[in-house]
C-alpha cells in the first residue's frame, strides 16, 4: 500500500465514521432519509471543507466525489439500523471518538502536503477533527461535544496533532507520525469517556441567573 493510498483510506474512514455520527444525531431529531444524508454529509465534510477553504486547496470532496457516496451510504445504513442500538447517544460518543482519531491525522497530513508550518499544521488537525461535529451539534441543537464540561475533546485533537509534529521533528516517517497522532487522540478520548480523564475546568462561578443563556 503506497502512502497515497493509505492517506486516502484515512480520509474515507474519517468521512464514513463521522457520517455515522451525523446520521445518529439525525435519528435523535427523527428526520427522513434525506435529512440523515444531509446531516451526515455536513458532519463528514464540514471540518475538511473549512480546512481546504482556509488553506486555499481544492475542497477534498470536489476533487473526489466518492467521499459523498461514502457519507451517503453510511447515512442510509444508519437509517435502517439505528433502532438496533441499545443507546444511540452512547454509541454516538464512541463512534465520534474513532472519527476524531481518523480526522485529526487526515487534517495534519493535508496541511503538511500544503507545506504549512507547524502551528498551522496543528490548527488544521484540530479544525478537521472538531468542526464537522461542531456544525452537526449546532445545527441539530445538541450540546456540542466540543463544549461538554469535564470531558477532553479539543484537547485530544491538540495533543494528537502535536504528537504528529513532534514525531516528524524527531525524524519519524510520515505514516508513523500519523499513526501516533491517531493513537494519542483515541487513547485520550477513550480515557475521558471510560475513566473520566479531564483537565481542571473553570468552576468558580456559573453564569448569574439574571443573564441567562439562550432559550426557546
Q: List the one residue from 33, 77, 175, 187 that touches its own copies (CB under 8 A).
A: 33
Query: Is 169 near its own copies (CB under 8 A)?
Result: no
Tell me the CA distances in angstroms from 196 to 61, 149, 188, one per residue in order: 36, 11, 10
Contact segment (CB under 8 A) with its own copies among 12-20, 78-86, 96-104, 181-189 equals: 78-86
Burial label for 183, CB within 10 Å (0-12, 13-18, 19+), is middle
Query: Is 2 near its own copies (CB under 8 A)?
Result: no
Query: Is 190 near its own copies (CB under 8 A)?
Result: no
Number of residues near its own copies (by CB under 8 A): 72
Q: List the one residue from 6, 8, 55, 73 that touches its own copies (CB under 8 A).
A: 55
Tell me the CA distances in angstroms from 56 to 49, 65, 116, one per residue in order: 10, 18, 12
Query: Is 5 near its own copies (CB under 8 A)?
Result: no
Burial label for 115, CB within 10 Å (0-12, 13-18, 19+), is exposed
Q: Give CA–CA dist 148/112, Å, rounded.
A: 30
Query: Is 207 near its own copies (CB under 8 A)?
Result: yes
Q: Give CA–CA dist 162/104, Å, rounded.
A: 10
Say if CB 24 and CB 92 are below 8 A apart.
Answer: yes
Query: Is 18 near its own copies (CB under 8 A)?
Result: no
- The mark string for 117-156 relative to its own copies (x by CB under 8 A, - otherwise) is x-xx--x--x---x---x--xxxxxxxx-xx-xx-x-xx-
Query: Is 89 near its own copies (CB under 8 A)?
Result: yes
Query: Is 83 near its own copies (CB under 8 A)?
Result: yes
Closest approach of its own copies to the CB of residue 134, in Å? 7
Amino acid at each position: 500500500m503506497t502512502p497515497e493510498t493509505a492517506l486516502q483510506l484515512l480520509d474515507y474512514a474519517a468521512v464514513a465514521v463521522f457520517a455515522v455520527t451525523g446520521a445518529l444525531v439525525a435519528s435523535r431529531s427523527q428526520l427522513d432519509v434525506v435529512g440523515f444524508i444531509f446531516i451526515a454529509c455536513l458532519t463528514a465534510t464540514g471540518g475538511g471543507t473549512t480546512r481546504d477553504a482556509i488553506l486555499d486547496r481544492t475542497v477534498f470532496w470536489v476533487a473526489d466525489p466518492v467521499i459523498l457516496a461514502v457519507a451517503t451510504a453510511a447515512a442510509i445504513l444508519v437509517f435502517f439500523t439505528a433502532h438496533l442500538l441499545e443507546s444511540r447517544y452512547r454509541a454516538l460518543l464512541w463512534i465520534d471518538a474513532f472519527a476524531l482519531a481518523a480526522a485529526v491525522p487526515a487534517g495534519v497530513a493535508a496541511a503538511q502536503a500544503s507545506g504549512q508550518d507547524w502551528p498551522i499544521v496543528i490548527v488544521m488537525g484540530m479544525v478537521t477533527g472538531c468542526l464537522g461535529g461542531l456544525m452537526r451539534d449546532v445545527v441539530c441543537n445538541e450540546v456540542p461535544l466540543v463544549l461538554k464540561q469535564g470531558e477532553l475533546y479539543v484537547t485530544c485533537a491538540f495533543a494528537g496533532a502535536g504528537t504528529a509534529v513532534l514525531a516528524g521533528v524527531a525524524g519519524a516517517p510520515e505514516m508513523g507520525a500519523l499513526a501516533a497522532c491517531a493513537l494519542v487522540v483515541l487513547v485520550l478520548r477513550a480515557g475521558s469517556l471510560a475513566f473520566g480523564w479531564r483537565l481542571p475546568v473553570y468552576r468558580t462561578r456559573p453564569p448569574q441567573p439574571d443573564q441567562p443563556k439562550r432559550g426557546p
